Amino acid sequence: MSKKVLNAFILLVTGVCLGTTGASAKQGSFGFLDPIDQQPYAWEPESSASSGEAQDPIEVSLRQYHQEFTRDGKISIYIGYGHEAWFPERAAQIFEMLKILGGHYGLTLTDWRRSEDGSIITFRDAGKALFYEITIEGDRNRFINAFATHEIVMYHGHSRNGKGPAFGAFENYFRMGRKHPSLEVDTRNIYFRNEPMLKTKRYPPLMMTFLGQTFLYQYRGQKHKKSKLPHTSFTKNIPGMDKDFMRTRFLPGKQFFYFYSCKNRKYWRDSIRSLFPDLNHKMVFGTFEDAFGGTKPEALMIMSVVRQLQNSGEVLELLNASKDCENCFTNY
């Protein structure tokens, strides 16, 4: 969609939505966002068998979360888009969707701005004297650091069959699950250069030189078909499981985590809840089945925070109303 057409559409739909408040709007009436929610290429979710799980949401009051988030007058939100899910237009789409949704719900959202590079969105809720800052990126390390600096941390991308979020390439994992004791990576991968090598009895270390540096590797290509390494890779096996998650720093207070990736409740719930067993401390909105690639769910998740929805069931109803997946959202 060209910028000219997009702007014309936004003017049209904003005019329609400004007269529609939350009280009169149907929860699932978000088709007006579809023309904005355009992906530059098709990306396929990791196809896998059904989790065999029910949605089984947990009803939790969010009142104390919102009280804490709004205490200092500023709410910080971080969205990390993973490999194949990230493209620069994501930020522009969220920016326009939020403005339209603000009108849809009759909110007094003003002073809309985007940073020069487009990665940061800010606006104010004049009615509640709140300032919002949303950072949207596709970088692994910045995503990790966001847990220590933002009240709401969001991820959209692949689950990598439980290995963890991945950024920029399939092997750039943020190791988060407990399904895979070891992972195959290219020994030159900057994120894992200093990781210990596993399975050395089966695959004795070999030596190679690349750009004047010496590296140890075990074989070329991959032994596990879901590693998605090219045949040219100089591969080593490193520890998997939830090693990165367990050494991540988090804000001491309350946080929302949002994961839009395939079956992440099945993959990541145990890791998260082993660190944060209290549902009134860290709340996770994620999926129990396969997920897809639209931008609407992120915009709706942010809008649930702006509207200060008071219980987790309302947030899930809103996320599933996006119709981006088949009622795949749950909480845990």
Nearest to 250 by CA among 225, 291, 284, 216: 284
Residue extents of the structural domains in the chain: 48-164+244-331, 182-239
Q: Are 184 and 197 in contact (CB under 8 A)?
A: no
What is the pLDDT at residue 29? 72
Q: What is the pLDDT of residue 7?
A: 46
User: Can you tell me the distance from the alpha carbon of 249 to that of 258, in angstroms, rounded to the nearest whole number?
Assistant: 17
Q: What is the pLDDT along the chain (332 residues), one digit of tens a residue?
A: 444 444 444 444 443 333 333 333 344 579 999 999 998 887 666 666 777 889 999 999 999 999 999 999 999 999 999 999 999 999 999 999 999 999 999 999 999 999 999 999 999 999 999 999 999 999 999 999 999 999 999 999 999 999 999 999 999 999 999 999 999 999 999 999 999 999 999 999 999 999 999 999 999 999 999 999 999 999 999 999 999 999 999 999 999 999 999 999 999 999 999 999 999 999 999 999 998 789 999 999 999 999 999 999 999 999 999 999 989 999 99
Do residues 312 and 58 make contact, with C-beta atoms less than 8 angstroms apart? yes
Token pair in block for residue 12: 């049209």
| Per-residue pLDDT at 8 | 42
| Cut 0.85: pTM above it | yes
